[in-house]
Amino acid sequence: MNNRLLILFFLCSSLLFGANLHYSVIKKESGKEGPTLLIVGGIHGDEPGGYFAPMLMAKHYKIENGNVWIVPNLNFDSIVKNARGTYGDMNRKFAKIESKDKDFEIIADIKKLLLHPKVDLTLNLHDGKGFYRDQTINKDLNPKAWGQATIIDQQQIAGTKFGNLAEISKKVNKETNVELFEDMHVFNTKNTNTKTQDKQMQQSLTYFSIQNNKPAFAIETSKNITDLSQKVFYQLKTIEEFMNVMNIKYTRPFELKKETIKKLLEDDGILEIPTTKITLDLSTLKSYIKFFPMNKDKLVYSSNNPLVAVIKDKDEYKIMNGNILISRLKPDYTEFDNTLGTVFMSIDGIKSNVKIGTAITVKKEFLVEPIKGYRINVIGYSKAGVVSEAGIKISEKELIKSYAIDKAEDTYMVQFYKDKHFAGMLTVKFDNDKTTR
């Protein structure tokens, strides 16, 4: 069987048997005694307030006692499609699920985590419709709305630590309500009285936990709030109040303010693709990149942002940060060769030994020394008739901006080839201080 057939087989098999993207679990363990909080984000893919908040926690929070386990992207296939549930509503599959359901494996795995003996309390994060009120005020503010509420399935779970659900949610809401962007954003407790009154919620994640004597709450910000940083603020504030109730101590290297959160959300993170030996800065990456070397093996990548996914889409790859499209890569399919480790370069006249995969900054010009047996291809270099750019002094003006890989259009790929095989690359960024030129 050739490579192409293998790829097709892999794609088909994953489509038949289950979800393509599995969630991640980030376990923040203090090493000190204390309770464990489990945070589950992204059960509904079109509720970004419910998954960007746990992403920021996973990235930035430090836990000083007890543990916080974070699943920022439970329904990852739906998050990248900005859909509630690509394979149906995942939050209606906890009472029963058929083995052929594409969410089967995800549900089985998360159930194990929910019931883990260490987990003392679970939060399921959402972004719901309207603003919950216990009386009907208008079409947005009424008992049927879900937004800006802490949801409980019943008043309490008798005899269980943190089982006084109503009391805890009241306490948490009181603290969250100290700082609101608008009065309308006030948080209330919504008790769905699941056992007797809500057939739908009997199939939900929180009710599954409750039935197993595990305290669980849903936190809902509102879809009617359009500013993502406000929603993330409310989610983080609420989660922090739950940690206070549980006596879990934490630190974060930023002030909990809307402006700070906005800044943090602008950082899309980095993407590492080990086979290419390259790390891409997603915050500055251009929206479309041509000639990106790929082989036909299963794509392996990692990121410091758990919401980053690379998805094959027809003959391109989409890089997503949650529901946000960062960039599309047009692959240049090639076999990979791993024999090259370092190259000799001259950077602004200074000779140095550079590791493949490095991001280099250049003021004026660079040159890659010829390497026996390897061809050097500077993507965007325009001189006709040049087969390899080895030994050629290159400054920014010789490069075609449309081939740059960043939004500022001053970073270029330098690729190495052994025969037809791709042997790694590095990136060269021309220092942005245009005034000195």
Residue 47 or residue 153: which is nearer to Zn ion going by CB? 47
Q: 228 or 326: whose CB is closer to Zn ion?
A: 228
Binding site for Zn ion (CB under 5 A): 44, 47, 126
DSSP single-letter state for residue 137:
-
Least distance to Zn ion from the beta carbon of 234, Å?
15
Q: How far is the CB of 238 from Zn ion (least distance, A)?
A: 15
**Which residues lie below 8 Å from residue 360, measured CB to CB, with a gap of 6+?**
345, 347, 354, 366, 426, 427, 428, 429
Eight-state DSSP code of residue 46:
T
Q: Which of 90, 343 has the CB closer to Zn ion?
A: 90
- The letter for the amino acid at 196 is T
Residue nearest to Zn ion (CB): 126
CB nearer Zn ion, residue 51 or residue 416: 51
Tokens of 299: 């794509």
CB 300 within 8 A of CB 275: yes
Among 416, 256, 290, 273, CA closest to 342 = 416
Least Å from the CB of residue 130 to Zn ion? 13
Q: Which two tokens stand for residue 218?
A: 């849903």
The nearer residue to Zn ion, 44 or 429, going by C-beta atoms, is 44
Q: What share of the chain is helix, strand, coil (3-state, %, to 5)?
A: 25, 30, 40
- CB closer to Zn ion out of 40 and 57: 40
- 175, burial (CB in 10 Å: exposed 0-12, middle 13-18, buried 19+): middle
Q: Shortest gap between Cβ of 166 and Zn ion (angstroms)?
A: 21
C-alpha distances in angstroms, 404 versus 191, 288, 343, 414?
54, 10, 21, 11
In the complex, least distance from residue 88 CB atom to Zn ion, rounded to whole angstroms: 13
- Taking the least distance from each CB to Zn ion, the nearer of 44 and 185 is 44
In the complex with Zn ion, which residue's Cβ is closer, 147 or 163? 147
From the CB of 47, what's the least distance to Zn ion, in Å?
5
For 150, the token pair is 């802490």
Give the containing element (helix H, strand E) for 206. helix 205-211
| Nearest approach, Cβ of residue 91 and Zn ion (Å) | 6
User: Taking the CB of residue 180, how many other CB atoms lie within 10 A of it?
Assistant: 16
Min dist CB 126 to Zn ion, Å, is: 3
Helix (H, G, I), strand (E, B) or coil at 352: strand
